[in-house]
Structure 1
């Protein structure tokens, strides 16, 4: 999507520091009779027409930042003026650099209702009292996921729900199915991720929740592995070190989760 936007005729791309200055210097040339709804519809139409028929604009919203409009397309947020003449690609940051408004907005859009996750489709692992809860999307062929599993060995009093999100290789589905159908799923997953010890071949009649997890990941826009989902609905894409994980778990404010 970004490539298409960059190739738009007349597009001006600016970084966060330039964006702040140029945004405040804009003046509205849209007719006064134009309603907010009409302007947003017009912007959506112009973006779709110029990016191409494959573009899907999820929403157009006026921001409090210099008259700019937020255009959301899946996980991507860009900005434009009220005439959709320019597209601004980058982050909006306050003048002191202490708040990244674009990141705040992206985090808000990516927030997950943890209680709605189908935890019965995940491999459950409990260490210590298990009071701290996370969910992880991992692929059995993901090298960073394997490194992160080693990191988790140093975290105590935690419950981990692992959704085997098979997106990296053709045999990911087979490996995940063998693990899911093993007598002890949690042990089989750790055996593979920590020690490269494959699970026994699954019985022919055993069905793993591959399609269910794949649909879930697409629905909540999980685009890579590992992706950690916390009980407050926030997420951390990619591998994180033990300090960052502990800091997040310690400082997080969320209601207790009823374990299944």
Structure 2
């Protein structure tokens, strides 16, 4: 009787006394990091500020460079860098740079670490906002005057010492005082002297990290429960409009 066996090639080779070497799959080449040369050219200008992402921008051939301290722009070879750019749509007059920062700094108001903020309440406090402010900020002083005109408002103020060399000392003196809310408001409205600085744990480092995470760029900044924001000082009537769901 004749029996025909069908053997895999490897087994057939062994059966015939030969040697068979299975082909080793080629290791795929590690993909190059996009815009690695651009990052190498731009990074020295940023000091210790890390580059998070480089990608094409909406502005012609410019590349968008995302950092924790804001947006910068360069070309496809990194031959120049544009800092502090404000792009305005000529048709709609909209601030495109602000829109992009808002996209990158999306937030949920409910997730804000409000325990790190100074809490002040007017009326029943049923409406809530959060602000980022510096004790040396002139427009922050104006904002507090406007907030006094808004009834039934709770304000959570995150102190971020970014304006002057003594901002951190002043912020710590406010936060370490027996009544931070009273000290903050009286200092900013009446220029009341601050108490002597005392040693206490403050949230200033966490506040600074949050400030950069949210892509804020200056004080004051106002965050609303609608998960929207407005940069800079605005008068009471605009705050009322935003609280009512307007712009």
Common fold by TM > 0.5:
yes
Q: Aligned runs of 1:1-80 on 2, under 5 Å?
A: 41=34, 44-54=35-45, 57-61=51-55, 71-74=64-67, 75-76=70-71, 78=73
User: Paired residue for 2:20?
Assistant: none
Aligned length: 210
State how 1:11-160 maps to structure 2 within 5 Å.
Answer: 41=34, 44-54=35-45, 57-61=51-55, 71-74=64-67, 75-76=70-71, 78=73, 91=87, 93=89, 97=92, 103-160=98-155
CA distance in 1, matches of 2:81, 2:191: 47
Deviation at 1:147, TM superposition (A): 1.1
Change (3 A) 1:201 1:67: closer
CA displacement, residues 118-174 of structure 1 (integer Å, 9 cap, x when unaligned): 111111011122122111111111111111111111111111001111122233223
* SS of residue in 2 equivalent to 1:251: coil
Instruction: Report the CA distance shift for 1:244/1:78 in structure 2 as closer, same or farther (over 3 A).
Output: farther
Q: Tell me, in whole angstroms, the C-alpha distance in 1 between the residues paired with 2:117 and 2:178.
A: 15
Unpaired segments ≥5 residues, structure 2:
1-30
Please identify the structure whose Cα radius of gyration is greater: 2
C-alpha change, 1:189 and 1:220, in structure 2 (3 Å) is: same
Partner Cα separation in structure 2 for residue 101 and residue 173 of structure 1? 32
Report if the CA contact (8 A) 2:72-2:81 is conserved.
no
Task: Output the CA distance in 1 between the equivalents of 2:59 and 2:146.
Answer: 44
Tell me the equivalent position of 2:4.
none
Aligned-partner SS, 2:146: helix
Higher mean C-alpha displacement, 129-138 vs 66-75: 66-75
Distance across 1 between alignment mates of 2:210 and 2:98? 23
- Following superposition, the deviation at residue 186 of structure 1 comes to 1.3
The separation in 2 between residues aligned to 1:163 and 1:68, in whole angstroms, is 38
CA distance in 2, matches of 1:142, 1:66: 33
1:237 has 2:228 as partner: no
Verify the 8 A CA contact 1:93 1:102 in the aligned structure 2.
no
Q: 1:4 aligns to what?
A: none
